[in-house]
């Protein structure tokens, strides 16, 4: 980690935190001082020639003094939590904290956790008109929210809107402190995994029709804006793209999704359905919303592997569980249809996917088992170095006699390599490859 970057970022945040402290003390002095005195923000630090990541972010989003105060309010629990202890001031008449300060107390964090109410007090005091103006800062269209700098965690249903906790996103926090552009990854509150590959299109063997359809997705990712404008489709066609990959396991569905992302220069996130789907009412929708909200403006590809668990056919709805499941599917259908990026569903069987989704797909690509010629290409791709093959190995015979998917062939190659290593040998034999094939077929319930 570059120490110069850390020093530059720390110096900028020190100045901003000191300015925040001046404004905070001025607000308290004004609020509890003589009524009728005007309140004005102290001038914000000049960031014109500042090279810090914080200054870059402020310039990118064209943030004014009020927006910078709100951003610092969200950052301070991470940077200097004691700076907000003033909000613990108690109302001596009532023996409790002042309601207008807002704020939450964490489960383990002893410091003050700000809410939108805290920001409203800081910027507006008891001026109702200014308080109304503060609401615009928390609108989804505001850069602080739209660019995922801040997010809100709303209180229970029916509580005031400004009671939502004001949270700086991990991406923003890491950027302004370490200078690293963080990408969200698998966690309890983000059930998705960034997937990458070292393979290329040369390693993927697809039927010509499937390859043609895959290219259509690539073109849409790169040129959707131009296509919508040039063909005057903006009013009738939504910017998103939805596609179903279906076919037997191991035929390249996940690899294809990853390669599409790599070719188009966008991230691919595989959704973990085991963490997404919950038995508790409303939790599945909440988990879905979190993923889609984070992906909304980021040009991600969302890849739902084994999508049958979530996109399966709806039931008649005779029980409360059936109605709850149907409600989840209806919500998911709406989010998928409104998502401006690419959504790819993968399933072993096309018929397992609810027809309400299937009708809204722009494409459905079949990933079939490779034929003999394709299997030979796959075998040769796995053993690019001829020295790794023993003199008795006949890849053409393996390809002709054994119908395997690309994924199964990878398992066979791994098994044979382990056997060769155990024998302290630098090449695999035909017998080892055949033994690996036998194990794969037994695993799949097929006779050898």
Q: What's the length of the chain?
A: 448
Q: Three-class SS of residue 90?
A: strand
CATH 1.10.8.60 holds for 372-443: yes
pLDDT (tens digit, 9 = 90+) per residue, 157-180?
778 889 999 999 888 999 999 998
Which segments of the chain belong to CATH 3.40.50.300? 192-366
pLDDT, position 69: 96
H helices present in 305-371, as ranges: 308-311, 320-338, 355-358
The Cβ of residue 368 has, within 10 Å, a number of other Cβ atoms equal to 15
Kindly give the parts of the chain with pLDDT less than 70. Answer: 1, 34-38, 185-189, 278-282, 312-326, 328, 448
152: left (phi over 0), alpha (psi -120 to 50) or beta: beta
Q: Where are the beta strands (DSSP E) in 173-286?
A: 192-194, 241-246, 268-271
* CA–CA separation, 419 and 135 (whole Å): 66
Beta strands in 117-262 (DSSP E): 150-153, 165-168, 192-194, 241-246
Per DSSP, 409 falls in state H
CATH of 192-366, one of 3.30.1360.120, 4.10.80.400, 1.10.760.10, 3.40.50.300: 3.40.50.300
Cβ atoms of residues 246 and 349 within 8 Å = yes
- CA-to-CA distance for 55 and 175, rounded, in angstroms? 11
By the 8 A CB rule, do 39 and 27 touch? Answer: yes
| 164 beta partners | none
Q: Which of 43, 30, 33 is nearest to 121 (CA)?
A: 30
CA–CA gap between residue 32 and residue 389 (Å, rounded): 83
Q: Output the pLDDT for position 314.
A: 53
Per-residue burial over 173-209, b = 16 or more CB atoms within 10 Å of its CB, e = otherwise: bbbbbebeeeebeeeeebbbbebeeeeeeebbbbbee
Closest residue by Cα to residue 386 from 417, 427, 350, 358: 427
pLDDT value, residue 431: 96
Q: Three-state SS for 105?
A: strand
The pLDDT value given to residue 356: 72
Dihedral sign of CA atoms 196, 198, 201, 206 in order? negative
pLDDT at 378: 95
Asked whether 233 and 188 are in contact (CB, 8 A), the reply is no
Query: Where do the CATH 1.10.8.60 domains begin and end in the chain?
Result: 372-443
Residue 21: the pLDDT is 94
Distance CA 192, CA 198 (A): 20
pLDDT at 283 (0 to 100): 72
CA 270 → CA 261, 306, 344, 346, distances in Å? 12, 10, 9, 10
Separation of alpha carbons 438 and 403, rounded Å: 12
Question: In this structure, are residues 53 and 59 in contact, taking their beta carbons and an 8 Å threshold?
Answer: no
* CA–CA separation, 54 and 280 (whole Å): 40
How are beta strands 241-246 and 363-366 bridged, if at all? parallel
pTM of the model: 0.73
Strands 268-271 and 192-194: antiparallel
């Amino acid at each position: 980690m570059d120490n110069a970057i850390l020093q530059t970022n720390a110096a900028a945040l020190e100045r901003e935190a000191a300015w925040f402290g001046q404004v905070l003390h001025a607000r308290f002095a004004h609020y509890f001082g003589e009524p009728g005195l005007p309140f004005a923000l102290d001038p914000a630090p000049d960031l014109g020639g500042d090279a810090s990541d914080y200054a870059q972010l402020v310039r990118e989003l064209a943030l004014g003094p009020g927006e910078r105060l709100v951003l610092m309010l969200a950052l301070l629990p991470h940077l200097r939590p004691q700076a907000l202890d003033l909000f613990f001031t108690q109302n001596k008449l009532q023996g409790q904290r002042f309601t207008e300060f807002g704020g939450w107390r964490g489960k383990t964090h002893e410091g003050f956790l700000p809410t939108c109410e805290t920001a409203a007090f800081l910027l507006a005091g008891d001026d109702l008109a200014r308080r109304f103006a503060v609401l615009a800062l928390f609108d989804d269209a505001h850069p602080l929210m739209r660019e995922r700098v801040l997010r809100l965690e709303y209180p229970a249903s029916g509580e005031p809107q400004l009671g939502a906790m004001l949270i700086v996103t991990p991406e923003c926090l890491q950027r302004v402190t370490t200078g690293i552009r963080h990408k969200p990854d698998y966690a309890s509150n983000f059930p998705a995994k960034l997937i990458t590959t070292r393979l290329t299109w040369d390693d993927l063997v697809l039927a010509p029709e499937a390859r043609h359809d895959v290219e259509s997705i690539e073109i849409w990712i790169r040129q959707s804006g131009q296509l919508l404008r040039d063909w005057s489709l903006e009013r009738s066609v939504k910017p998103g793209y939805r596609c179903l990959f279906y076919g037997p396991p191991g035929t390249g569905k996940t690899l294809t999704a990853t390669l599409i992302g790599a070719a188009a220069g966008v991230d691919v996130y595989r959704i973990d359905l085991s963490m997404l789907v919950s038995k508790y009412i409303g939790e599945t929708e909440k988990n879905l919303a979190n993923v889609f909200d984070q992906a909304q403006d980021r040009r991600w590809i969302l890849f739902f592997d084994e999508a049958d668990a979530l996109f399966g056919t709806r039931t008649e709805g005779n029980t409360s569980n059936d109605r709850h499941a149907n409600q989840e599917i209806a919500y998911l259908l709406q989010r998928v249809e409104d998502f401006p990026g690419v959504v790819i569903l993968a399933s072993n069987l096309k018929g397992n996917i609810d027809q309400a989704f299937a009708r809204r797909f722009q494409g459905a690509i079949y990933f079939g088992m490779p034929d003999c010629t394709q299997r030979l290409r796959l075998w040769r791709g796995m053993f690019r170095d001829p020295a790794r093959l023993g003199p008795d190995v006949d890849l053409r015979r393996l390809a002709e006699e054994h119908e395997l998917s690309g994924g199964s062939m990878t398992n066979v190659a791994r098994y044979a390599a382990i056997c060769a290593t155990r024998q302290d040998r630098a090449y695999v034999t035909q017998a080892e490859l055949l033994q690996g094939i036998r194990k794969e077929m037994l695993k799949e319930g097929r006779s050898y």
